[in-house]
Chain A
Amino acid sequence: MKKKVLALMLASAMVATAFAGCGSKESNSGSASTETSDSAEGITLTVWSPQEDQDGDADSWLQKECEAFNEAHPEWDITFEYGVCSEGDAGDTVSADPTAAADVYMFANDQIPNLVANGALSELGGDTVEQIKANNTENTIASVTYEDAVYGVPFTGNTWFMYYDKSVFSEDDVKNLDTMLEKGKVAFPLSNSWYIASFYAANGCTLFGEDGQDADAGIDFSGDKATAVTKYLVDLVANPNFTNDADGSGLAGLADGSVNAIFSGSWDYDAVKDALGDNIGVVAAPTITIDGTECQMKAFAGSKAIGVNPNCENQQVAVALAAFLGSTDAQSDHYTMRNIIPCDTNCDVSGDAVAEAQTDVISNKSVLQPLVSAMGQYWTPAESMGQELVAGTVTADNAADKTEAMNTAMNTAAVE
């Protein structure tokens, strides 16, 4: 019967417009009174985070930090309300209705352009930016900077690296993918556009200029350098020791021994640990040999950050909370309680292989995942390229044409 909701809709179309008008007016008056109303009276802040941050009760990370924040600021009497929204979903869920979304929420940095365009993310300034700049590496700061403004307090890096079986590969083997393929089986998510870019980036292809911020530069996956990569990938797929990792087949393969190395991020650590036990090795993605030269595979690097909703009535409090949740102490707690690897350079994570691999990737072996709205055109052509490679429709003969077609598609604006 849900299909008939439309009737309600049509019947009340005019009413709806009227209400929409009301809604935006409300929010305007709300932000107009910003910055004045944060004195002693009660303040309610809504905080959204992934479920894992607030499982259990009082002793979970988010509740603990929020209580600590409340104690640190006796001048504000804050009541917290918690909602569940993973960093990956924040872009859609918050943008859907910023006026009713959380005041403080966590998001993956690639959603910044979308959130800003929807008026759902406040630009940070003053002490908060100082704090971010003092505690993070340049790459991390760049990951939350969009059009020269800082939009979030980063709390962890977001990238991928390689898990391998130490009993199969030595530490020297894992430096080069081609050496690895001679010794054991490697699974790579080739049909996933978040991963496949690393091969092209290895051979000098760029997305939106060198720093990934130049919208006018466009995506440069063309010419001989890109064709060479496509040809390399054709050979890679043909290699019997290579499998495409899709639908979790890589992880399952690790467990039964049919795969010896996979590419994934910190979220899969526990599962890989289950599969490999003490033989687990973690390292940045290897180099590949293209036309005789060794090139470093470069993963997309990003971060997860805490942002403030511009529709929040108590901007000052919300920004302070965001800064607090992203502070060195809060990140350390996050690390001990949930194994979220801090990006704060003051946090001590030495001895943790995953943290070291992740830091290595972000600082040296990655390209910043571009924060340009035209980046939206990248994903589908790249994914099709990966799928066609796996299916075998891309061959050494048509590699040049297929690469050029992909590049054209990436630089063509979708219908707006």
Chain B
Amino acid sequence: MEKEKHVKLHGRRLFVNVLVHIFLAILAFVWVIPIVWIVLTSLRGEKGSYVSTFFPKFYTLDNYIQLFTNTNLLNFPRMFTNTLIIAICTCLISTFFVLSVSYCMSRLRFKFRKPYMNLAMILTLFPGFMSMIAVYYILKAFNLTEGNMIRISLILVYSACSGLGFYIAKGFFDTIPKSIDEAALIDGATRWQIFTKITIPLSKPIIIYTVLTSFIGPWVDFIFAKVICRANADQYTVAIGLWNMLQKEYIHNWYTCFAAGAVVVSIPIAILFVFMQKYYVEGMAGAVKG
């Protein structure tokens, strides 16, 4: 009797588990399909934007070769370099900004602290592209919208206000005991020394998290790059380049290269994630605690 009940319970649990796993499998399938599709398309031998079969009729690496060698029309390697330079610079600058602001908000006490935090909260609720035309005119007034200065203006745009996104890092810093800081103060350390010698080494996870988000921002941004680059083809970023490949004039010849480009673009992000993944999870968890 006892045993029978046990088997029954076990059976029901098995049934529920099977259902859940089937459901999850379907979800996973749906989620993975676009990625599989883009990889397959990037290897597709036949040209054009429309195919009647999911799997390519024949496979080739020509799309990748064309992407990197056919630089007369759309210079993908240069776009890639541009984006990489911008993303790395932005990453360094805005990581520093975010950590500094978070540290101040977490450790220092000053009159404007509360109002500032509220203000930042409200400002982050607005979408950034609301301001893009105004940003463009400001940059133009500083003569930053021609030639190589475009790279600088893009770095400026992406990193200038990153300090506003301090909430998660501040939450993490709040979890580091204040008594450590006080001990260091008594030993004669300055605020800067506490920040660099104590807080930073203790907050690897959140630094990694900040690095990741501030790298991906400029890496995938289209709208600001489009507004600021305008007709300067030598300053295009990958986002604009990929968008161009889908224009009426190019789509037939460049569609499969577009897919190849999309795969190539995801590589740096994927590498970053693979190396920093375990810290990423920790960083998020730490923030929640605070």
Contact = CB atoms under 8 A, between A and B. Distances in A.
A83 B233 contact: yes
A359 B251 CA distance: 25
A100 B147 CA distance: 12
Contacts of B132: 5
A2 B247 contact: no
Interface string B144-155: 011000000000
Nearest to B165: A1
A7 interface: yes
B213 A7 contact: no
Contact of B128 (A2, A12, A100, A249): A2
A55 B72 contact: yes
Contact of A23 (B140, B231, B255): B140
B133 to A, nearest CB: 8
A259 B244 CA distance: 28
Chain B binding surface SS class: helix
Contact of B138 (A19, A50, A56, A88): A19
Contacts of A258: 52
Interface residues of A, number: 48
Interface string B241-267: 000000111011101000000000000
B268 interface: no
B127 interface: yes
Interface string A44-60: 00001011100110000
Contacts of B26: none
A129 interface: no
B227 interface: yes
Interface residues of B, number: 59
A271 B252 contact: yes
A268 B48 CA distance: 11
Interface stretch (B7-15, B118-126, B186-194, B278-286): B118-126
A3 B50 contact: no
Contact of B50 (A1, A22, A56, A248): A248
A255 interface: yes
A48 B126 contact: no
Nearest to B236: A84
B83 interface: no
A4 B251 contact: no
Given A50-B249, A85-B230, A252-B48, A2 B224 contact: yes
A97 B229 CA distance: 12
A64 to B, nearest CB: 15
A120 interface: no
Contacts of A51: 73-74, 233
Interface in A1-30: 1-10, 12-13, 15-16, 19-20, 22-23
Nearest to B51: A252
Interface in A39-92: 48, 50-52, 55-56, 83-86, 88
8 contacts: A1-B217, A2-B218, A3-B165, A6-B126, A9-B135, A85-B230, A248-B48, A248-B49
Interface of A: 1-10, 12-13, 15-16, 19-20, 22-23, 48, 50-52, 55-56, 83-86, 88, 93, 96-97, 100-102, 247-249, 251-252, 255-256, 258, 267-268, 270-271, 274
